[in-house]
Amino acid sequence: MTGVPAPIPPSGTSAPRPYDGEMQRRAGSSSSFAWAFLPFVVASILHVVLLATASPLAGPTKLLLMPMLAVPVLLSARRLTPRATLVLLLAGLLFSWLGDGAGVFFPTAPELPLMLLFFGIAHVAYILLFARYLAVRRLPWWALAYAAWWIAMIAFLGPHTGGLLIAVALYGLVLGGTAAFSARCPPLVAVGGAFFLASDTILAFRLFLPDSLPAWSSPAVMLTYTLGQGLIIAGALVALRKRSA
């Protein structure tokens, strides 16, 4: 005795495929992932505008940036493997946040050395992330430009750093290292590393040669900083999520 034949789909339609649901789930997940960056984008634009207009609200909004950028990382936490990648991403953001707010969080301590320390730790976390988990190619020849950048910065700014010369030189090494190792990663991460380097380069001139740059260089520091951090995190999450799919 034969079974009841399966119903024939109406003309003009096709039978549902078993992987349609999975495709829809992935599409929805990608859409949610993209929207997770919206708070950071809004906070970044607001902060740069407030900084450009010399608003007293620029300071408080600066402290919103890294927590907002942590949102997509935390929402992607279950899909990040190995778990060390999550730790390194959050460490980079945490110590960047402490560097952003060093003067606020530690008002009695010298601000600049603390900034260098906290951002130095953040850069080490990024370097480990890039070298161990995100590298997709060998170091390109053009990354040698980052070594030339470090030599030029020390030669040019070194005489103006006073007692901070060694600290600045060491920080420059890890900053250049972040940019160099990012060059081994997917394009979003590589571009983010370059923007991060540009941000700290402008900041260094503002700190040690304050009369050499115009007023608009202050918002330029934060514009390139938010672009750099945002692209690094976005590129890292895209690569890691693809790997775990």
What pLDDT score was predicted for residue 28? 47
What pLDDT score was predicted for residue 192? 98
Q: For the chain, list residues with pLDDT below 50.
A: 1, 19, 21-23, 27-28
In a domain, 205, yes or no: yes
Q: What is d(CA 123, CA 126) in angstroms, rounded to the nearest whole number?
A: 5
Cβ atoms of 36 and 234 within 8 Å: the answer is no
In a domain, 181, yes or no: yes
What pLDDT score was predicted for residue 35? 93
What pLDDT score was predicted for residue 63? 97
Q: What is d(CA 132, CA 149) in angstroms, rounded to the nearest whole number?
A: 24
Cβ atoms of 102 and 157 within 8 Å: the answer is no
Cβ atoms of 157 and 108 within 8 Å: the answer is no
In a domain, 196, yes or no: yes
Q: What is d(CA 35, CA 41) in angstroms, rounded to the nearest whole number?
A: 10
In a domain, 231, yes or no: yes
What pLDDT score was predicted for residue 213? 85
Cβ atoms of 50 and 61 within 8 Å: the answer is yes
In a domain, 126, yes or no: yes
Instruction: Determine the structural domain holding residue 176 and report its residue range.
Output: 26-244
In a domain, 168, yes or no: yes
pTM, 2 dp: 0.87
In a domain, 68, yes or no: yes
DSSP conformation class of 213? S
**What angle is formed at CA 44 by the lines to CA 38 and CA 45, rounded to 5 degrees?**
95
Q: What is d(CA 229, CA 80) in angstroms, rounded to the nearest whole number?
A: 18
CB-facing half-sphere around the CA of 153: CA atoms within 13 A: 26
User: How many domains does the chain contain in total?
Assistant: 1
In a domain, 13, yes or no: no
Q: What is d(CA 29, CA 25) in angstroms, rounded to the nearest whole number?
A: 6
What pLDDT score was predicted for residue 243? 82
